[in-house]
Amino acid sequence: MVNKTHWWRDAVGYIIYPESFQDSNNDGVGDLPGITSRLDYLKDLGVNLLWICPVFDSPMDDNGYDVRDYYKINPLFGTNEDLKTLLDEAHKRGIRICLDFVLNHTSDEHPWFQKALADPNSEERGFYHFRKGKWVDGKLLPPNNWKGFFATSAWERVGETDDFYLHIFSKKMPDVNWANPALRQRYYEIARHYLDLGVDGFRLDALAHLAKDMTFSDSTVPTDEFGRAYDPSKFSSRPELFDYLAEFKREVLDHYDCLTIGEVGGGVRPEEALRYVCFENGAINMLFNFDTAWCNGAYGSIDKRDDEIKTDIIGMKRSFESWYKSCAGKADLPIYWENHDHPRVLSQYGSTAYRGESAKALATLLLFMYGTPFIYYGDEIGMSNVTYSRIEDFYMDVGNRNDVEEKRALGYSDEQILHYLCRCSRVNARTPMQWNSSPYAGFSNVAPRVKVNDNYLEGVNALDEMNDPYSIINFVQYAIGKRKDPEIAALLKKPWKIVDMNHPDVFAYQHEGEDERLVVVANLRPYSTFFGFYHTIRDVVLHNYGDVIINDHVFTLRPFECFLLRV
């Protein structure tokens, strides 16, 4: 057992999608040396904890979430040596690194799966979920009606046999069988390998899904047009999962001062979170759940008009509050707007018409809540959703490819589908980092695999941002500096609460110290609104407009106006 120092509590995190951060060898794909070359940028920004999406060898069906070899860095991203260099250089700068560890599935090209296919009696066959299909009226159907996350059946037939294997994501990502102790040991070895190498922790991908309903019975939820039932309860937060995690903790995590961030999709309610993360006996440290990522009704919104997409600010505040109430004092809490699986937050809750104002308001809200904030790469320069004009531009995402097929089969036109993808696709958040205004935004010298957002030519790039004293990046850098100011840092640990929960436009909260409060007030609308305020302002620490309008205890808040105040 090592002594856990909980170093992440005061950290500022930053999420990197490696394919799109910085290409160092001009092959159109970002890489580890590219990240290393940008460490000074990150240090200057003030972040000190990176979570990097998967970098292991992979055929890239799901852009690295389909791992072929856990012990080898994906040649697209560099070499094992490059990872070591990145770790050393990051550590020299006081930056810690968490790798994205995919342990719910492998690639179908992983040697385990290849052996499992080649020899039904092999040990590896037991590493996956193989089941017989069902013959109905002369037709071979999957073993059950489960639908996966990527718009297909959760089963794929093995050649011409009666066997199927389970895949809750793409068919090139067979789920591994955590009920098998030998399989679990393989994962513990991988984890130890990277922790021994100097990695500071892991983001644990699709963690909620490791244990399945091993009866593999049909789901009783209503089925879709194709007879498939989308019922994540069959493979989310099942009781056995907590036994596996406890073992993982005992055998590996307890022996390192490492951070573990579990990804649990929308499948875990705040009340359940402590089973994963409570200080006394939770196996891991934090959960990313995404309750607060889709508060504008955009999820699955193909049938909605643009004017129907509006942030439910009260609902969003309630959600932050319920996570706080469940976790405060009992578990560590991460704070984030999005990751590589969502549209850009600027397009979700902000506004491209008020890019600067809204990006600053969102950054302020993020950085001063209770917990460890994670900035998604590019949010610090106001990156927004893509401007693609062809459905095919989204095809580097297997989820989107399947989605397009399904939507076409349901009768949607390509025009509707394109509009929907521009609003909701996760590719929105996967476009190359916009470093400057040279071709391909300074990301690469050649056309990147993921197309650059054209707005890098309109000032949305790091260099132009740095040169503007009132820019988003300068604001974010200053705000992170303020977050580290000892007096403010102490206030951040004080009890937190939402102010004026029922205000439909303003997200305001405070930390209540003994004789001082730290208050954030942010108008999240593209129009002005009023906000009553009865405190004596001691200091305006952050503000995104030039002057303050307050009359008779009422703020007039202009579009996306925000304050950080000491009162």
Q: Report 504-543 residues binding ligand GLC (CB under 6 A).
A: none
Nearer to ligand GLC, 110 or 340 (CB): 340
Nearer to ligand GLC, 8 or 51 (CB): 51
The residue type at 306: D
Residue with smallest beta-carbon separation from ligand GLC: 65
Tell me which of 23, 62, 124, 291 binds ligand GLC, using CB under 6 A: 62
Contact between 341 and ligand GLC by CB under 6 A: the answer reads yes
Checking phi first, is residue 259 left (phi over 0); if not, alpha (psi -120 to 50) or beta? beta
- Local structure of residue 19 (DSSP, 8 states): G
Cα separation, 35 vs 83, whole angstroms: 10
Burial 17-43 (b: 16+ CB within 10 A, else e): bbbbbbbbeeebbbbbbbbbebbebbe
* In the complex, least distance from residue 278 CB atom to ligand GLC, rounded to whole angstroms: 23
Nearer to ligand GLC, 300 or 481 (CB): 300
Nearer to ligand GLC, 13 or 459 (CB): 13
* In the complex, least distance from residue 401 CB atom to ligand GLC, rounded to whole angstroms: 12
Cα separation, 361 vs 524, whole angstroms: 8
* In the complex, least distance from residue 339 CB atom to ligand GLC, rounded to whole angstroms: 7
Contact between 235 and ligand GLC by CB under 6 A: the answer reads no
Contact between 65 and ligand GLC by CB under 6 A: the answer reads yes
The DSSP-derived string for 87-131 is HHHHHHTT-EEEEEEE-SB--TTSHHHHHHHH-TTSGGGGGB-EE
* In the complex, least distance from residue 51 CB atom to ligand GLC, rounded to whole angstroms: 11
The pairing of beta strand 529-532 with beta strand 334-336: unpaired
Contact between 82 and ligand GLC by CB under 6 A: the answer reads no
* In the complex, least distance from residue 191 CB atom to ligand GLC, rounded to whole angstroms: 17
Cα separation, 300 vs 320, whole angstroms: 22
> What distances in angstroms separate CA 199 from CA 194, 288, 404, one per listed residue?
6, 20, 38
CA angle 128, 188, 8 (to 5 degrees): 120
The question of whether 263 is a catalytic residue gets the answer: yes
* In the complex, least distance from residue 65 CB atom to ligand GLC, rounded to whole angstroms: 3
* In the complex, least distance from residue 493 CB atom to ligand GLC, rounded to whole angstroms: 30
- Report yes or no: 214 and 235 within 8 Å, Cβ to Cβ: no
Contact between 31 and ligand GLC by CB under 6 A: the answer reads no
Cα separation, 71 vs 90, whole angstroms: 21
Contact between 393 and ligand GLC by CB under 6 A: the answer reads no
Q: What is the CA radius of gyration of the chain?
A: 24
- Report yes or no: 323 and 523 within 8 Å, Cβ to Cβ: no
* In the complex, least distance from residue 402 CB atom to ligand GLC, rounded to whole angstroms: 12
State the binding string over 189-228 for ligand GLC (x if CB under 6 A, else -): ----------------xx----------------------
SS3 335: strand
Contact between 109 and ligand GLC by CB under 6 A: the answer reads no
Cα separation, 487 vs 38, whole angstroms: 30
State the CB neighbour count (10 A cutoff) for residue 192: 15
State the binding string over 263-292 for ligand GLC (x if CB under 6 A, else -): x-----------------------------
- Report yes or no: 129 and 138 within 8 Å, Cβ to Cβ: no
* In the complex, least distance from residue 562 CB atom to ligand GLC, rounded to whole angstroms: 29
Tell me which of 146, 169, 194, 336 binds ligand GLC, using CB under 6 A: 169
Nearer to ligand GLC, 292 or 544 (CB): 292
Nearer to ligand GLC, 62 or 200 (CB): 62
Kindly name the residue from 108, 163, 205, 332 that is annotated as catalytic.
205
Kindly name the residue from 175, 263, 380, 465 that is annotated as catalytic.
263
- Report yes or no: 72 and 109 within 8 Å, Cβ to Cβ: no
State the binding string over 111-150 for ligand GLC (x if CB under 6 A, else -): ----------------------------------------
CA pseudo-torsion sign 371, 377, 383, 388:
negative
* In the complex, least distance from residue 285 CB atom to ligand GLC, rounded to whole angstroms: 18
Burial 79-117 (b: 16+ CB within 10 A, else e): eeebbeebbebbeeeebbbbbbbbbbbbbbbbebbbebb
Nearer to ligand GLC, 203 or 355 (CB): 203
Cα separation, 213 vs 178, whole angstroms: 12
Cα separation, 152 vs 229, whole angstroms: 10
* In the complex, least distance from residue 64 CB atom to ligand GLC, rounded to whole angstroms: 9
Give the total of residues touching ligand GLC (CB under 6 A): 9
Cα separation, 416 vs 418, whole angstroms: 5
Contact between 102 and ligand GLC by CB under 6 A: the answer reads yes
Strand-pair partners of 56: 73
The question of whether 205 is a catalytic residue gets the answer: yes
Nearer to ligand GLC, 73 or 102 (CB): 102
Which of 195, 157, 298, 184 is closest to 245 using CA atoms? 184
Nearer to ligand GLC, 176 or 562 (CB): 176
Nearer to ligand GLC, 46 or 201 (CB): 201
Nearer to ligand GLC, 102 or 518 (CB): 102
Chain positions contacting ligand GLC, by CB under 6 A: 62, 65, 102, 169, 205-206, 263, 340-341
Active site (catalytic) residues: 205, 263
